[in-house]
Structure 1
Amino acid sequence: MSDINQERLDTQRFDTIIIGAGFAGLTAARDLAAEGQSVLVIEGRDRIAGRTWYEERLGMGLELGGTWVHWTQPYVWRELNHYGIGTVKSPDFQRAIWFEDGERQDGSLEELLEAMAPGCDAFGVETRKYFPRAFEPFTNPEAADLDHLSVDDVIATLELTDSQKQRLRTFWTLNFNGSTDTAAYTQALRWLAATNGDWQVMWEACATYKVEGGTKALADAIHQDALGHGAQFLFNTRVAEVVTDADRATVHTLTAEYVADRVIVTVPLQILGDISFTPALPTPINHAAARGQTGLGTKAWFKLKGHAEPFMALGEPDWPFNFLQAEYPVEDGIIVIGFGSDASAIDVTDLAQVTDAVQRIIPGAEIEATTGHDWCSDEFAGETWPMHSVGHFKESFTAFVAGTDRVRFAGADYALGWGGFIDGAIESATQQSRRILNEVVASASTERTLSEASQK
């Protein structure tokens, strides 16, 4: 995508500057511009959509990043309906693979769910007690008292067999796309709360319904709407610093500076520290940036030869791939998604490494081709989907929701509800955009009152 008119931008003051053109940035740009605000979106990449990326790979359109949506996710569901975009269901899996005391099991999906039920039921039994309102996570202040607990800490206390505990660890390693030893129990309960504490519905929401035409279809629709309302976009531009004072916010790129009343920051938490803020952001926010996320895993697509039946496979938690989902039957094989918890453990573009990883779950598997994107080494991501670490909820979460007078935060990293999902990105952008618009109205009302008083 090409840059907009640089010469015109250099002398213009905006109402709001948005850093990042992912789903949060696109939503905020559209909503603010639709209400008459002058908006500039600054994006480091040459494209929109952030950590979603729909592209032709392996002979078909594949989602290299964020993928799934669900009707329990009200913000993205509303957007899909608004633009008349449907969903496509993943195949029904008649076959499942899992491990019991190190021994490979091959059965039906129902049998896998039965094997998982004791652990998953026990793990989430207190979900509604601590998070009775999924999109109002601070309703019960006692939830903060749990934030010293990791997922592993909680699993260790459950009265389960070793095999059940290991399978439960795999399940949450998959959900966090990272290690469960630092994964916050509060984050896990918040996901469960979004589906009323039902882990099977939560899992369905995570990996069942895709956007018709790919995530690109929805991102393009919001982008075009934003442009139609006058929002401006600047691509291939890295933000270096944000300086705020009583009068303005100034966003410094490597080559220019832009002025606005407010700034919405949508960059992932893992790379937030790459931007300098003057004055410094509140301590809880800086601590969160230093703490980072747990979503530091991997996602791969590959063609598995000789298999045509869609299947689901759950491996061991620390394997390079701990989960496989066979999605698209093709000639002489099937296209499969693989997830692992450690991006440094496997190069998803290396055929030999991918083959070795898959063969742990499917002995003798023959992989014809593989592809993927390393989001953790991506300079504009630094993580996959964001999942909070121990300590984030209690110390830092409310600070991100509040922001500062001129700097606000939106994105899947900062969502009240479905953190880590497209829905969370849209939700947080919706909330922060409305907050800014309300502030503008309140400020105008105050100015009118003062003006009227001075004339008396």
Structure 2
Amino acid sequence: MTEETDVVVVGGGIAGLITARELGRDGLRVTVLEARDRLGGRVWTDHRLGRDLEIGGTWLHWVQPHAWAEVTRYGLEVTRGPRPEEAYWLAGNEVRKGTLDGFMELIDPGMRRLLHETMRWIPRPDAPTSAAGLETVDRFSVQDKLDELALPVEEYHANEAAWVGHFNAPLEDGAFTSALRWTAATAGSWHLMHEASAVFRLASGTRTLVEAIAADADADVRTSAEVSRIEHGPAGAVVTTSSGDRIQARRVVLTLPQNILGDLDVSPRLCAEKRAAGREKTAAKGVKVWIRVRGPIEPFFAYSSAAHPLSVVRTEFLGEDDAVLVSFGADSRRISPHDVDAVRAALRVWRDDLEVLDVTGHDWMADPHSRETWLMQRPHQLTRYFAAQQRAEGVLHFAGSDYANVWAGFIDGAIESGLRVAREIRTAH
């Protein structure tokens, strides 16, 4: 037996839920199929280490217009972690200790030089491929452009570690244009970009946003409903789940990340650009580790380098007798978020006075429903594939943070893309 509906949305992350909410308001029958047993996708609040932790996407900011509109719409409270009172970084193999302001002053010259042509190449972040000749700069990695600066070793390692934290990837894999896109979203200010991408979070967790959107969506939302095949033509599509359910729809919205979109059985198959991007994968392949240590401690942050398993660590929660740190590494194959001994060793790069009590996280690279963390493109991907990744193919439409214009890779980007695709379908009807 084949069900019928107007629109099937594949994926119950933020982009899929926004799409469903908007189309439901237009009176369309919408069915959301989410493969996981929960909603949210790469946004996931879970109670671990005695706290509600963000296992995936976390930070948002008032310069992210789509996310902030949802914060306002649902009256969500925003907070931040404790401001670091101590800072640690490396100069070669020597550990330096100072303040947050001192570290920012250290990296400022390199950041300014690296990003001084941001607005030339990305003059409008809402149209990221609009600049003439963009392909001439899209061929470079961040590593290429950082090496051109010939910075002193202490400045180099500090800037390198800061960008590894942003990219969640080895810098030789990450496109320089991805750094430009983030900075263009804050009108060329690297300070504001840094703050917007790593400081403010929802006080009661991203789950509150997921729950609010889902409750507001007039849609049939199903979890543990993995899609195995899509057959499409001019008049509509048939979506088949792994359990054998068949749903016929006039339109289908695919919200799968770049790294797994090409794995889906779609007939006729997707365009060559989408498939090529899927084969190449995104640059980001890192790890996010939550670490509970014995307290009390002074809040701190630390940067190492791309050569270390953990490149960035900072205090996110303070308790009377413990603290919880959040950390990032460039390559998930080099450290497990569940390996206490490996995390202890990684922290000793900066300091040996922290008693690690427990660690946790999620291997997003091994997760069959993501195979990536957040979007950071490789060289050439923006100019070769991005327009095609956004483009509808007949009755198939494509949403997701990976395909956003302004804040690709962020919650804001997921919301933007969901609104865009809902408008496409609304217009088509």
After TM superposition, is the score higher than 0.5? yes
Q: Distance in 1 between matches of 2:133 and 2:392?
A: 23
Quick check: 1:193 aligned with 2:184? yes
Structure 1 position 154 matched with structure 2 position 142: no
Cross-structure match for 1:213: 204
C-alpha separation in 2, matches of 1:279 and 1:329? 53
Q: Is the 8 A contact 1:400 1:408 kept in 2?
A: no
Aligned pairs for 1:186-265 within 5 A: 186-226=177-217, 229=218, 231-254=219-242, 255-265=244-254
Cα distance in 2 for partners of 1:242, 1:122 equals: 48
Q: Quote the Cα distance in structure 1 between the aligned partners of 2:263 and 2:350.
A: 38
Higher radius of gyration, 1 or 2: 1
CA displacement, residues 132-165 of structure 1 (integer Å, 9 cap, x when unaligned): 1111212213223211111111112124223323
The corresponding residue for 1:5 is none
TM-score, structure 2 as length reference: 0.97
Report the alpha carbon displacement of residue 101 of structure 1 after superposing the two structures with TM. 2.5
Q: Is 1:326 paired with 2:351?
A: no
SS at match of 1:68: coil
Code of the aligned partner of 1:415: A
- More moved, 395-404 vs 326-335: 326-335
Deviations 1:237-271 (A, max 9, x none): 21112111121111121212211111111111111
Distance in 2 between the 1:104 and 1:306 partners?
Answer: 22
Aligned length, in residue pairs:
428
What is residue 361 of structure 1 aligned with on the other side?
350
Q: Tell me how far apart the structure 1 counterparts of residues 273 and 297 of structure 2 sit (CA, whole Å).
A: 50
Listed as ranges, the matches of 1:310-389 within 5 Å are 310-389=299-378
Contact 2:91 2:153 in 1 (8 A): no
Question: Could you tell me how far apart the structure 2 residues matched to 1:323 and 1:159 are?
Answer: 23
* Residue 182 (1) aligns with residue 166 (2): no
2:151 is the alignment partner of 1:163 = no
Native 8 Å contact 2:82 2:318 kept in 1 = no
- SS of 1:244's equivalent in the other structure is strand
**Higher helix residue share:** 1
The residue identity in structure 2 corresponding to 1:15 is D
Pairing 1:85–2:73 present: no
Q: Which amino acid aligns with 2:164?
A: T
Tell me the residue number matched to 1:274: 263
Q: 1:17-36 residue pairs with structure 2 within 5 A?
A: 17-36=8-27
Opposite residue 259 of structure 1, the aligned amino acid is: Q
SS at match of 2:15: helix
* CA shift for structure 1 position 306: 4.0
| Residue aligned with 1:183, SS | coil
CA distance in 1, matches of 2:205, 2:57: 10
Task: Give the aligned residue type for 1:377.
Answer: A
* 2:169 counterpart letter in structure 1: G
Instruction: Identify unmatched segments of 5+ residues in structure 2.
Output: none
Distance 1:46 1:306 in 2: 35
Single out whichever of 326-335 and 72-81 deviates more from structure 2: 326-335
Q: Percentage identity across aligned positions?
A: 35
User: Which aligned runs of 4 or more in structure 1 are off by greater than 6 angstroms?
Assistant: none
How far apart are the structure 2 equivalents of 1:329 and 1:167? 26
Matched, 1:51 2:42: yes
Query: 1:86, 1:212 within 8 Å by CA — same for their partners in 2?
Result: yes
* Corresponding residue number in structure 2 for 1:143: 134
TM-score by length of 1: 0.92
Deviation at 1:307, TM superposition (A): 4.5
Q: CA deviation at 1:102?
A: 2.2
RMSD: 1.3
- Structure 1 unaligned runs (5+)? 1-9, 441-456
1:84, distance to aligned residue in structure 2 (A):
0.8
- SS of the residue aligned with 2:365? helix
C-alpha distance in structure 2 between counterparts of 1:138 and 1:269, whole Å = 18
Matches of residues 389-428 of structure 1 in structure 2 within 5 Å?
389-428=378-417
1:70 matched to 2:66? The reply is: no
Kindly indicate whether the alpha-carbon contact (under 8 Å) linking 1:240 and 1:274 is maintained by their aligned counterparts in 2. no
Distance in 2 (alpha carbons) for counterparts of 1:250 and 1:417: 32
Distance 2:407 2:281 in 1: 18
